[in-house]
A and B are shown apart, each in its own frame.
Chain A
Amino acid sequence: MQNLIRPYFTVGLSEMREISVKPVLLTILLAQIILSVFFVAIGAIDDWMTSEPITWFVILALIPLSGIRLVILFSLSFRSRDRFMTDLILVRGISRLEYFVGKIVGIYVYFLAESLILLGAVAYFSKEFSAPEANDIELTGLLRAYIIVLAILGFGGSILSCLSASGLGTIKIPSIFFLMLCIAFPLMELAGSISVVPEAIFQSYGDIVRGVANLSLPLILLSLVSLVATVGAYRFFLRRDF
């Protein structure tokens, strides 16, 4: 049993170690921490921010900056010329499945833990300054906010991993990803499923956190697309020459 789990665990751990020491990613994490302090501080003086500090923090700081980190991370992840991967991991008896799963799980667990800590910290420190109707700092609200963060990061990560595993160049991956977003959002707006107007985004996210809107349908949809994209990424990765 230990031998079955060991490769995934070791790869996942080495991936988390890589993320935690990459200077660019660390700088963006620092920006997230500074912004979390900013949102706590500004909540004390701004009526609007006081009402929903987590929603503001998630939409303006956590998702965009974690998204940028994911884009950087995946643009470099499955490169043919990634010496770290080919010279260190795949040539040491680690199969492609073990490497792929270990890496993806390692990245996801890292972002899961980091988002939880940041959201928890913002909620904890905001409590004193928040208005009574700020339900996103209560446990159920916080949990809903956290789940939707995970679903969005998982969705973005799976699409990015698919692009990266297909063998696209380092510059092409973020370009195509943003192009996909630019096409997807207006189409979704046209279909009436979401509104990309900033006010509407805050409103709908707030509704989910407050428990007014139903979380299950978008969650199921995001999870399904993420699953398909991840399987696609693995299929690409399996066929790649390095």
Chain B
Amino acid sequence: MLPLVATQALEVIPAMTNRIRVLIAKPGLDGHDRGAKVIARALRDAGMEVIYTGLRQTPEMIAEAALQEDADLVGLSILSGAHMTLVPRVLQQMRQQGLAEIPLVVGGIIPPDDAVALKALGVAEVFGPGTPTTEVIAFVQRAAGARP
């Protein structure tokens, strides 16, 4: 049988590092995780510490993981079209956990109008298909680095 591990840091890092910690999460029921995994790997290769939650995370689980993992930034990947329901809830849960200052980034299939709406709600950036990982890395470094 498969080992029952839901959340697992991608590598073991000694405590007290200054490396940026990023939580990558798949909210909702969407199973398309190629993008989430490629981004996780690229951020890790860029020297960050990346925690990938795996599939089917509720907004509550994501905010809780962000808190527990002391994330500097949270990235959501959604390709199922449920972003206008799920993303505002993740924002709300993060605020309730006192994580309002943690930038939230969304990637996936997000129509342009929805991207504008999500940013108005407080999403730091929306990345569509074809975005170079270098662009994502640069953004994360800026956004997470600017954190107090």
A complexed with B: no
Instruction: Give B residues with C-beta under 8 Å from A.
Output: none
